[in-house]
Structure 1
Amino acid sequence: MTDTSAPLVEVRGLEKSFGDNRVLQGVDFAADAGTTTVLIGPSGSGKTTILRSLNVLEVPDTGTVRIDDVEVDFAALPHRAKAARARTSRLRSQSGMVFQSHQLFPHKTVLENVIEGPVQVQRRPREDAVADARRLLDQVGLSEKADQHPFELSGGQQQRVGIARALALKPKVVLFDEPTSALDPELVGEVLDVIKDLATEGWTTVIVTHEIRFAEQVADQVLFLDGGVVVERGTSAQVIGDPAQERTRQFLKRILDPGGSGAARQ
């Protein structure tokens, strides 16, 4: 039985190296159910590696990840490949990932893209998956696009299909990896609005983003990372509004006030 008082997501001692490059150096954090955690920091700070570790798209060298009642101690993975895959696959099934690029199947319709995971991976009845998919497409404002193909959609619409596809798996936590970075500036707002709605509806989300003002609006907690470590953590008011660490202040000044006028912070 799951301990309802425990955080839904818990990460302890996460470490990852690529050759001589230590990308993560003992990262710890936890997230309660229904909350939004935002990871910010400069490029190369380890944000995306954390996200990919939660979904086991990257396998950490050591450390523990728990989502709900599924926990993997990466230092203690079985040496047998089949047993290790079974354990990590169960953890992966707890989350849904929304990538920087849309990664939709170009030869499938919008509806077929959304039902692919539930039908092919989760083996759910097709009629149930279709009903869920139509509801989710309506939720992200794309019900009329169900029979179109990705090339017929704008970048923002494709990303919203990607969000519906992640939600269709009924994950415990939704992971967003810089979901607006590949979009034209005028399309960013429509995707951020959908993510805001998910936060208010009680989905548990972990978001990597450079959209600092968006983070300020939606985050229950913000983690600022640099050099593979969590430099500062707290509410958005604490970390973004009144950061305690000089490194955090430098980063935010560069992002929010690149011209040095201070106008962006007003």
Structure 2
Amino acid sequence: MTNYCVSATGVRKAFGDNNVLNGVSFEVAQGSATTIIGPSGSGKTTLLRALNALDVPDAGVIQVGEVEIDFSKPVAKDELRRYRAQSGFVFQSHNLFPHKTVLQNVTEGPIVAQKRPKDQAVAEAIELLDQVGLAEKQDQYPYQLSGGQQQRVGIARALALKPKVVLFDEPTSALDPELVGEVLSVIRDLAVEGWTLVIVTHEIQFARQVSDQVLFTDQGVILEKGAPAEVIGDPREERTRQFLDRILNPL
């Protein structure tokens, strides 16, 4: 029996008259990497944000880690807090605290939100910064770092919360092309180490290399899902083929 870290059934989300998610269902196995690909406006980011309730779904049942919520019913605040605590979120544009050092950014969540002892949080944060290649930057501020370094701090910050799953929202889209590789390398290492990852990305070759599962979204539904060799290498759907052809063979 597969041990699922994430399970979503019939997830719906609308913003006004715009139905962004139209009954999305999928699972993510423990210790696996899932990438979500698709055209802009297809619901990728909203789906990812639903997994952390940054965008609270209108309907559907989602289980993340140890918490399952039926979003078609009213959800208590403490239950929503428990749900959010199951995942760590890495944003497109770093979202670091500009007035805090690198080390303070990484320890903020464990100390303030999780009430963990400061010395323990600091020791673990230094270890994580070493893991992402930034141990020597711990006393610097975000403005002193490159975009790629800031994003790696964002990854360390998410890992510091010891989440069941790490959610990445197009983690390289705001970076200069020469900085993309350093961030993708860190994410690749996390996949090898057995972290459960869900990654929204436009980097198709990276998705091919790192994924156990690829989801292709279009118009608020998952049109195709499977192993990279299937979805990227030999897609069944014409819409998937069109999208990949445009990305992989630009004019």
Which range, TM-score by smaller chain?
over 0.9
Q: Aligned match of 2:85 in 75, 93, 113?
A: 93
Aligned to 1:220: 212
Structure 1 gaps of 5+ residues are 79-83, 260-266
Distance 1:25 1:104 in 2: 32
Q: CA deviation at 1:244?
A: 0.6
Structure 2 gaps of 5+ residues are none
Distance 2:171 2:129 in 1: 17
User: Is 2:41 the counterpart of 1:44?
Assistant: yes
Poorly superposed stretches of 4+, deviation over 4 Å? none
Q: How does 1:172-211 map to 2 (within 5 A)?
A: 172-211=164-203
Q: How does 1:146-165 map to 2 (within 5 A)?
A: 146-165=138-157
Q: How does 1:1-266 map to 2 (within 5 A)?
A: 5-78=2-75, 84-259=76-251
Q: CA deviation at 1:69?
A: 2.1
Tell me, yes or no, if the aligned pair for 2:92 and 2:172 is still in contact at 8 Å. yes
RMSD: 0.8
Aligned residues between the structures: 251
Per-residue deviation, residues 161-203 of structure 1 (Å, max 9, x unmatched): 0000000000000000000000000000000000000000000
Distance 1:17 1:76 in 2: 16
TM-score of the aligned structures, taking structure 1 as reference length: 0.93
TM-score of the aligned structures, taking structure 2 as reference length: 0.99
Q: CA deviation at 1:5?
A: 4.3
Q: CA deviation at 1:248?
A: 0.1
SS at match of 2:4: coil
Tell me, yes or no, if the aligned pair for 2:89 and 2:158 is still in contact at 8 Å. yes
